[in-house]
Amino acid sequence: MATDSELIPPIGATPPPPGPPPRGPAWLHQNIFTAAIGAVAGYAFGHWVGNMIASGYPNINGASGQNDIAICLGLGIGVFGWLLGAGALNYPLAKIVGREPAPEAPESNWTRYLRFSTDHKVVGIQYFFAVFVFLFTAGLLAMAIRTELLSPTTHIFGPGTYIEIVGEHGTMMMMMASSLVVGPLGNFLVPLMIGSRRTAFPRIEASSFWLFSGGYLVIVTALPLGGFPTGWTGYAPLQTQAAGGMDSYLVGFAVIGTGMVLAGFNLIATIIHYRAPGLSWSRLPVFVWSILATSALLTLATPTLICAGLFGILDRTAQTAFYVTERGGSSFLWENLFWFFGHPEVYIMALPGFGIVSEILPVFTRRPLFAYRVAAAGMFGVALLSFFVWQHHLFQSGINPDMRPLFMLTTELISIPTGFIYLVTLGTLYKAKIHFDVPMLFALGMLFNFLIGGVTGVFLSDVPVDVTVHGSFFVMAHFHYTIMGGLVFAFFAAIYYWMPKLTGRTLDMRLGRIHFWCMFVFFNMTFFPLFIVGILGMPRRVFEYAHNLQGLNDFSSISAYLLGASFLIFVANFIWTIIIEPRRAAANPWNSLGLEWQTPTPVPYYNFERIPVILSDPYHYSEPEALPVADLAPRPSAGAATVGVGRGSADETDPRPPMA
C-alpha cells in the first residue's frame, strides 16, 4: 500500500494512470476468505490462552459452565485474526519491520469488493452489502418474534430462547442502523460532494468496515453461546448473571463501536480539510452537514459505550464489581453509561435520514431548499441536546425523582431543533409541483412515518405518561416508527436515487413503486396496532399476554410477514437489473445540480481529473441566472491560485488539502 502522499496526486494535477494489477490469481490474494480463516484461527488460539489463564481460578460465570475469560479472549483475538487475514494490518506491520509497503493498484474487477481497499467508493459498496446482511439476519429474527406472538398460550420457543432472539434482533438492528447511512453513503458520496479525490485517512476508513463486519460475526456467536437475556440494552445485574452469549454482546459492541469512532473521525477530518476550493460552509450540501453532525456524535458518544462494555467484560472475567451491587458496584452505572451513548445513537440514525430527504426534495420539486441555514443549525442543535436527555430512559428506574423535571424539559426541548428540520422539508414542499418518482415516494413516506414517531415521542418525554407506558409495546412501536419508518425509508430513497452513481446501473422503477407501496402500507399495518396493545398493557420482551390482545397481535404478525416480503421485491429488483440484466444508467438521470452528479458514471478511481472550483450551492433550481455549481474545466497547474476555502486558499500545485 502507498503512503498518504502516494494515494492522491497534488491538487489540480492530472492523476497518473493506474498501476499494474497484483500478480497471481485473485483468489490467492488476501480477501474475505483469508480473513475468515484468520478469525477462526484467532478464536481457537485466544480460547486456548484463556483456558490456560483461567485454570485454577474460580469462574465468575461458573453457573453457566462456560469460561468467560476464554470466550472474551477468543473473540478479541479472533477479530484481530479477521483484520490480519483481510490485510488491514499489512501497512503498519511492514513499517514496523522496516519494509516499504507495495503501492496499491486500482482494479476494476469485482474481486476488489472482497479485499481491503483504500478506495472510498469500494468501501462504500462493501458497507452497502454488509448492512444488508445485518438487515436480513435481524429481519429473520423479527419474523421469529412475530411468529411466537401469534398465540398467547401456544409457544414455539421457550421463554429463555425467546428473550435471546429478542436481544439478538435488537442488537443487530441497532448496530446495523448506526452505520446504515454513514457506512455506505457517507463513505461513497461525501468525497464526491465536497470535490475531493479521497477521504482524509483511507486506511482508517477501510479498517472501520472490517471492524464493522467483524463485529457482526462476534454478535452472531451469541446464539450458540447461550444468548443474552437482557434485550439489546444489556442491563445489569442480568449482564453479570448471563451465559457466554453476553460476552459476545459486550465484545461485539466494543468492536463495532471502535469502527464507528474511526468512521466518524475520518469523515470529520475529510469534511473540514478536504473541501474543494470555494466550498465554504454556506455552500456545503445538507447531506454533508448531516454526516458531519452524525460523525461528531459517533466520535464523542461511542467511546462511552466502549468503556461501559470494557467494565462489563472485567466484571465477568476479572471479578471486578463495577455493576455488581452486592460487592459495592451499581447497576445504575451501566444504565447511565449505556444511555449516555444510547440516546445520541437515536440521532446517529435519524439525522442522516433528514440529510437524505433534504437532498432529494429540491431535485423532485425543482425548487431551492427552504431555509438552508435553519436545516444546518437544526442538525447541530439536535446533536448538542442529544447529550442532555439520556435519563428520560430511567424515569422508572428508581433514580432521584427530583431529576425527572430537568430531563423531561431537555427531552421536550430537543423537539424544537428537530421540528426546525422537519419544517424545512415542509417549506420545500409548499406549493411545489412534485415529481412522484420512486426516491420521492420513499422520502415522503419517511416524513409521514417520522411525524407519527415524533408525536408519540413527545408523550414519552412526559413523566406521568412514561410511567404508564414504559416497557410496553407503545415504546417499541414509537421506536420503530422513528428509526425503521424514518431511517430505513430514507435509506431506500437514497438507494433508488443514488444507485446510478454507486453502480452505473439503474433499478426498475415499476418494481420500485410496488416495493414502496407494499413496504409503506404493511409497515403501518405492522406497527400502528402495537401502539394500541401497548396502551392496553402488553409488556415488551414477554411472550405470554392477555387473550383479548391476540387479534391485534395476529394482525400485526401477518402484516409483518407481508412487510418482510416487500423487501424481497427490492432484492429481486436489484439482482435482476444490477447483476443479471444490468441496465446502464444515464450520467445524471435526475438532472440534479449536486456535485456528485457532475462526475462520470461509473466514477473513475480518482473521482475528479482536476479538483473543481465551487461557485455556488447545489440548490439553485428554477433560478435561470444562478451560477453553475462548480467549474470542472482543466486549468493551468503552475502557480494559479484558486478560490479560498474557509480561512485560507489552495494553490493548484499545493499537495496539502485546502484549509478549513
Write the pLDDT tens digit of every residue in 494-543: 999 999 999 989 999 999 999 999 999 999 999 999 999 999 999 998 88
Rounded to the nearest angstrom, the gap between the alpha carbon of residue 305 and the centroid of all alpha carbons in its chain is 16
The pLDDT value recorded for residue 16 is 52
Instruction: Answer whether residue 107 shows pLDDT above 80.
Output: no
Distance CA 462, CA 470 (A): 11
Residue recorded with cell 474475505: 32
The pLDDT value recorded for residue 58 is 57
Instruction: Answer whether residue 64 shows pLDDT above 60.
Output: no
Write the pLDDT tens digit of every residue in 400-414: 888 889 999 999 999
Instruction: Answer whether residue 653 shows pLDDT above 60.
Output: no
> Pick the residue with more confidence: 623 or 147?
147
Instruction: Answer whether residue 28 shows pLDDT above 90.
Output: no
- Are residues 492 and 474 in contact, defined by beta-carbon separation less than 8 angstroms? no
Instruction: Answer whether residue 133 shows pLDDT above 60.
Output: yes
- Are residues 427 and 370 in contact, defined by beta-carbon separation less than 8 angstroms? yes
Report the candidate in 227, 254, 252, 232 with the shortest Cα–Cα distance to residue 242: 227
The pLDDT value recorded for residue 634 is 59
Burial of residue 41 (CB within 10 Å: 0-12, 13-18, 19+) is middle
Cell of 367: 425548487
Ranges 10-24, 109-123, 234-248, 506-520, most confident: 506-520
- DSSP string for 450-516: HHHHHHHHHHHTSHHHHHHHTTBHHHHHHHHHHIIIIIIHHHHHHHHHHHHHHHSB---HHHHHHHH
> Pick the residue with more confidence: 58 or 349?
349
The pLDDT value recorded for residue 514 is 97
The pLDDT value recorded for residue 403 is 86
The percentage of residues in the chain with a pLDDT greater than 90, rounded to a whole number, is 66
Give 596's pLDDT tier (boundaries 50, 70, 90): very high
Which contiguous run of DSSP H or E holds residue 528?
helix 509-535
Distance CA 350, CA 418 (A): 10
Distance CA 227, CA 163 (A): 9
Instruction: Answer whether residue 250 shows pLDDT above 70.
Output: yes
The pLDDT value recorded for residue 9 is 47
Distance CA 312, CA 334 (A): 8
Residue recorded with cell 455493576: 323
Q: Which residues are CB-contacts of 449 (< 8 A; sequence separation ≥ 6)?
A: 481, 484, 485, 486, 489, 523, 524
Write the pLDDT tens digit of every residue in 616-641: 989 999 887 777 887 776 555 444 33
Cell of 17: 494512470
What number is the average pLDDT over the span 67-87?
94
The pLDDT value recorded for residue 103 is 72
Distance CA 167, CA 177 (A): 15
- Are residues 439 and 493 in contact, defined by beta-carbon separation less than 8 angstroms? yes
The pLDDT value recorded for residue 10 is 46
Report the candidate in 26, 512, 563, 617 with the shortest Cα–Cα distance to residue 276: 617
SS3 541: coil
Residue 539: what are its φ and ψ, rounded to 5°? -80, 155
Report the candidate in 529, 598, 614, 608 with the shortest Cα–Cα distance to residue 563: 529
Instruction: Answer whether residue 363 shows pLDDT above 50.
Output: yes
Instruction: Answer whether residue 183 shows pLDDT above 90.
Output: yes
Distance CA 332, CA 325 (A): 9
Beta bridge mates, 641: 651
Give 602's pLDDT tier (boundaries 50, 70, 90): confident
> Pick the residue with more confidence: 318 or 208?
208
* Start-to-end Cα distance in the chain: 28
Domain map (residue ranges) of the chain: 436-585
Q: What angle do CA 17, 504, 443 make, to 5 degrees?
A: 135
Average pLDDT, the chain: 88
Instruction: Answer whether residue 57 shows pLDDT above 90.
Output: no
Distance CA 253, CA 234 (A): 10
